[in-house]
Homo-oligomer: A and B are copies of this chain.
Amino acid sequence: MDEYYMNLAIEEAKKAATIGEVPIGAIIVHKNEVIARGYNLRETTQNATTHAELLAIQEACAKIGSWRLEETTLYVTLEPCPMCAGAILQSRIPRVVYGARDLKAGCVDSLYTLLNDNRFNHVCEVTEGVLAETCGNLLTTFFRELRMKKKNQKRQEL
């Protein structure tokens, strides 16, 4: 079931890639129903907070009508950053499933384990590595193509 939902998060990530955004996608499931979706929109919106997870959390709060997202699972293609890990704690999401690790900024396993610190008033169950290769490949392909585009642009400018 985790793979099924992660595939939906991957679909969101692909939407980001088609508009030139770093491909990261998220969905939130509440009692077996997908109640929110989000993909990274930082460049489009020029708003630093429009990460996939944050957008999905905001939509889920609106759907449920509560800042407490009880009985939900958040699926996201990349390990959450400090802002999104913090938003997961703030919204009391009980379970997070992510795909690829983010060794540079991940705050669930890589740099910090913010979702598993019992000094906070919420601790979150985490499953990592679901369709990790597919999730990671989306990112490496995106950045490879971006580098190629920039190279070609430079060549045309010479």
Residues of chain A whose beta carbon lies under 8 Å from any beta carbon of chain B: 42-43, 45-49, 51, 54, 57-58, 61-62, 65-69, 81-87, 89-92, 104-105, 107, 111-112, 114, 117, 119-121
Minimal beta-carbon separation of A77 from chain B (angstroms): 18
- Report chain B residues within 8 Å CB of A105: 120-121
Given the interface pairs A104-B121, A120-B105, the reply to whether A61 lies near B47 with Cβ below 8 Å is yes
Contact A66 B46 (CB under 8 A): yes
Q: How many copies of this chain does one complex carry?
A: 2
Q: How far is the CB of A72 from chain B (nearest CB, A)?
A: 11
CB distance A47 to B69 under 8 Å? no
Residues of B within 8 A of A112 (CB): 112, 114
A86 and B81 contacting across the interface, CB-CB below 8 Å:
yes
**CB contact between A119 and one of B67, B91, B111 (< 8 Å): that residue:** B111
- The smallest C-beta distance from A124 to any residue of chain B, in angstroms, reads 12
Chain B residue with the shortest CB-CB distance to A54: B49
**Chain B residues near A117 (CB, 8 Å)?**
111
